[in-house]
Amino acid sequence: MPESFLGDLSQVKLFDVLKPLFTAKKTGRVNIHGKEKGEICLDRGDVIHSRTNHFLGENAFFTIMGWKDGRITFEPETLPREKTIPITTEQLLLNWSSRKQEFEKIREVIPSSHTLFRLSLQRDGREKNISADQWNVLALCNGMKTITEIAASLEWEEYKVLKTVYQLLRMGLLERGEDRNVTRKKTVKENFFAILEMELKRVMGPVAPFVIDDRLVEFGESRISFPQERALLFVEALSEEVPNPLKRSEFLEEAMKVLSL
């Protein structure tokens, strides 16, 4: 069967494109053609395989889900020769969500992939054990290379470099070559997202936490430091994800009660 065009990542989010394929239990291959080529294969709505130019399986899926450009097409009834993702799709999405949350923590310390890092002076005199990966990153952190450039030099995905730099910063082996002032804003209450997730699950089912996390990435915020001044906009954005008008109204009504508290 011929390929069908599903959208462009410059205009739509890949998760939004995949959701109806999961729900309708489709079988086939999702192709992404951009700066790189990637594929995600489904068997009756379950993700069973993913590949990019450099990665296979879960790593490929996580990499593709972070892409911001590329043409998305779907080839129905096309199955791969190999199954590279043995876990359930629910577990895969949970792993992706966990990785995104970890990424948000890293972004609070490393706001940009263009930030420069350099070796820091060791004044405590303590010995520190580091892995081979950490050593490779240390060797390239000369105050002149960005995260993106280090990833290219090592032929790693950018997330791996970000995570390693984050570890080295926490160990005190690196320091930022460039700094920026962060203005502290009043954040939402601790139970804000727990209640939102519960209410959204009532109208959307188990996909709710992934929808919330996806919107958080779009807003460029994290759960632990979400500004109160953007809470109403966030609730309205979540309501747009609810296809049933009646259920959308129910969600908005309950969410507004949370905001009023």
Q: What is the DSSP string of 147-166?
A: HHHHHHHHT--HHHHHHHHH
Nearest of 30, 36, 21 to residue 78 by alpha carbon:
30
- pLDDT at position 215: 85
Q: Following CA atoms 219, 223, 228, 234 in sequence, which dihedral angle do they give, to the nearest 10 degrees?
A: 40
- pLDDT at position 38: 94
Q: Where are the domains of the chain?
A: 4-86, 112-176, 192-260
Q: pTM here?
A: 0.54
Residues of the chain with pLDDT under 50: 179-183
- pLDDT at position 29: 96
Which CATH topology does 112-176 take? Arc Repressor Mutant, subunit A (1.10.10)
Structure-token match 């930022």, residue found: 176
- pLDDT at position 261: 61
What is the Cα–Cα distance from 148 to 110, expressed in whole angstroms?
Answer: 12
- pLDDT at position 93: 92
Helices (H), 110-207: 132-140, 147-154, 158-170, 192-204
- pLDDT at position 180: 37
CB of 8 closer than 8 Å to CB of 59: no
